[in-house]
Amino acid sequence: MNNFEYFAASDVKEACSLLSRYGEEAKVLAGGQSLVSMMKQRLVMPSYLIDVKGILELDYIRYDEKEGLKIGASTTHRSIEKSPLIREKFPMLSDMELNLASMAVRNWATVGGNLCGADPASDLAPCLMALGAQVTLACASGERMVLLEDFIFDSFETMLREDEIMTQIQVPAKAARSGGIYTKFARRATDLGIASVAAHLTLDESDPDMCKDIRIVLGAVDTYPHRYKRAEDLIKKKKINDAVIEKAAQAVFEDCQPTSDTNGTEEYKREIARVLVIRNIKEAIARARSL
């Protein structure tokens, strides 16, 4: 690991000021679960580390019916897992956390660090994309909000500028007759996924067989997690039945672009994704109807 200068920022303003001063020579340290490993391998060699883990104003979970769920970027995965509020309103997030790495990692790793790392096999990003999440990015001159699905655009690549930090994740308020689920296919439950699918849908309140809205997101298959809008359009505003679900799953099979590696062939991953889409949509429907 190369030599670097370490700063422990006391608040967002100080963190942004330091980033503005040191620019591309600096890296933000949140939980450090990925960054420190990359530094040890000399994949990244920052001259300055700006630690934001101790910024208390970035560690919170709040919810109201108008603005929805707000999560501070320094909130740990374990806090998400154990939150009664999230368990009640967004159980797919709580369930996802149970199989994210180990408890030791979840106790220290932060949600902001996870999203800014933009790992293609992230468990968190597909869930939040399926829930329609936005993220807040702050710098010395102000802040902006962007959809998470736009924020991550390639493997380990985001629209985060060198003078910005992520401060908050916001999920829209839970809609009536909505439900979602995240499923990961992996060698062991806590391993990085070979393929994963997050599906979240809302049913028409007057017709529980009609899909009002749906988001389907794959992780660990393509180079980054993203929505499959052609598949979504095959279900949205339509009566849901097995034939419609299978058409959507086939669209995912055709549109995804996995690569062959030690985890399996391209065709193998496509088939896993197709099967998971079918299972997850059916389970999301069951959850939406149970409310």
Q: What is the DSSP string of 189-204?
A: TTSPPSEEEEEEEEEE
CATH number of domain containing 136 = 3.30.465.10
Contact assessment for residue 6 and residue 15, using Cβ atoms and an 8 Å cutoff? no
Residues 60, 167: one domain?
Answer: yes
Q: Stretch 182-193: mean pLDDT, rounded?
A: 89
Residues 194, 128: one domain?
Answer: no
- Residue 80's domain spans which residues? 56-171
The mean of the pLDDT values for the chain is: 95
Residues 120, 17: one domain?
Answer: no
- End position of a domain, from candidates 142, 171, 200: 171
pLDDT at 244: 98
Sign of the C-alpha dihedral computed for residues 216, 31, 152 and 267 taken in this order = negative
Q: In this predicted model, what pLDDT tens digit does every residue of 130-165 receive, in sequence order?
A: 999 999 999 999 999 999 999 999 999 999 999 999
Query: What is the percentage of the chain residues whose pLDDT exceeds 90?
Result: 90
Residues 242, 208: one domain?
Answer: yes
Structure tokens at 136: 């807040």
Residues 183, 112: one domain?
Answer: no
CATH number of domain containing 217 = 3.30.390.50
| Domain tally, the chain | 3
CATH number of domain containing 12 = 3.30.43.10
- Per-residue confidence at 34, pLDDT binned at 50, 70, 90? confident
pLDDT at 2: 86
Residues 76, 128: one domain?
Answer: yes
pLDDT at 289: 94
Residues 212, 134: one domain?
Answer: no
pLDDT at 291: 76
- End position of a domain, from candidates 123, 142, 171: 171
Residues 186, 151: one domain?
Answer: no
- End position of a domain, from candidates 120, 154, 171: 171
Q: In this predicted model, what pLDDT tens digit does every residue of 83-134 receive, in sequence order?
A: 999 999 999 999 999 989 988 999 999 999 999 999 999 999 999 999 999 9
pTM: 0.96
Planar angle of CA 286, 219, 258, nearest 5 degrees: 120
3-state secondary structure 41-99: CCCCCCCEEEECCCCHHHCCEEEECCCEEEEECCCEHHHHHHCHHHHHHCHHHHHHHHC
pLDDT at 76 over 90: yes
